[in-house]
Amino acid sequence: MIKWIWIFVLLNTLFLFQPDVTSLEKSGIKTIIIDPGHGGNDTGGVGKQGLLEKDVTLDIAKRLQKVIEGRLSDVRVLLTRDGDYFLSIDERVGFANHRKGDLFISIHTNASFSQDASGFEVYYFSPLESDLDSIQQEFIDEGIKLAGLIQKKVVNRLKIRDMGIKGCYFLVLKDVMMPAVVIETAFITNPSEEDNLKSEGFKTDLVSAICDAIQEDIR
Ligand SMILES: [Zn+2]
């Protein structure tokens, strides 16, 4: 009889002392890859006042890394580049897959020949009919979900023009083995949006809203 009591106590203790399984651990999200677009000789878009897309994307990526790591202590955030140098598409994709990322977020600024073009949009991967066996294929639904959440949170927070989410055959998304999106943060070719991209307040709110979306996505 005494033996059975001890087994009972032991089992109870095991259950009582099981570590709290947070929703984050349940979601399986351990590593988030942030990909600052362009770099080195590839400046990306250029604003009328001289702002370079490659500098903005790196700045926003570093801010986003800091905010995510501050809020989600169990998640590590890795940048495909952390300085001003060129990276090929293959290097970006290889980095994300080798580090076994669980989410891939590529940061860009939009550009147009018309300096009036403005707004915020997020892209998910959409395959070509001639290429239906890309790796990203199986993650498209999750990419659409993440894109939708980012779009909603950012537009609500920043009160900027909502261009919606769109599917696109982006090479940087095609062979990434995790849900993946490209964020077009603002039009660098629109002078007032170029000002936004230089503004502390805009960038702080932007990365905070993107992080809100990630938290809701992995909940
Ligand atoms: Zn770009």
Domain boundaries of the chain, sorted by first residue = 23-217
Q: How confident is the model at residue 105 (pLDDT cuts 50, 70, 90)?
A: very high
Residue 119: its pLDDT value, please? 98
What mean pLDDT is predicted for residues 185-198? 98
Tokens representing residue 140 in the block: 């498209």
Q: Look over the chain and give the mean of its residue pLDDT values, rounded to a whole number.
A: 91
Query: What are the b/e assignments for 35-53, b being 16+ CB within 10 Å?
Result: bbbbbeeeebbbbeeebbb
Give 26 Cα–ligand 1 centroid separation in angstroms. Answer: 34
Residue 15: is its pLDDT beyond 60? no
Give 16 Cα–ligand 1 centroid separation in angstroms. Answer: 51
Which residues have a Cβ under 8 Å from the Cβ of 22 and sit 6 or more positions away? 74
Q: Within 13 Å and on the Cβ side, how many CA atoms surround 26? A: 9
Residue 22: is its pLDDT beyond 80? no
Q: How confident is the model at residue 28 (pLDDT cuts 50, 70, 90)?
A: confident
**Rounded to whole angstroms, how far apart are CA atoms 28 and 5?**
37
Give 92 Cα–ligand 1 centroid separation in angstroms. Answer: 14
Closest among 87, 93, 38 to 60, alpha carbons compared = 38
Give 38 Cα–ligand 1 centroid separation in angstroms. Answer: 6
Residue 23: is its pLDDT beyond 90? no
Give 72 Cα–ligand 1 centroid separation in angstroms. Answer: 27
**Rounded to whole angstroms, how far apart are CA atoms 31 and 96?**
9
- Length of the chain, in residues: 219
Indicate the helix (H) or strand (E) that contains 105: strand 103-110
Percent of the chain topping pLDDT 90:
84
Q: Could you tell me which CATH number the domain at 23-217 has?
A: 3.40.630.40
Q: How confident is the model at residue 26 (pLDDT cuts 50, 70, 90)?
A: low
Q: How confident is the model at residue 130 (pLDDT cuts 50, 70, 90)?
A: confident
Give 110 Cα–ligand 1 centroid separation in angstroms. Answer: 7
- pTM for the model: 0.88
Residue 176: is its pLDDT beyond 70? yes
Give 184 Cα–ligand 1 centroid separation in angstroms. Answer: 8
- If DSSP codes are grouped into helix, strand and coil, which group holds residue 73? coil
Contact at 8 Å (CB) between 147 and 165? yes
What mean pLDDT is predicted for residues 185-209? 98
> What is the crossing angle of helices 140-158 and 200-217, to 10°?
140
Residue 1: its pLDDT value, please? 45
Report every protein residue that has its C-beta within 5 angstroms of ion ligand 1: 37, 44, 108
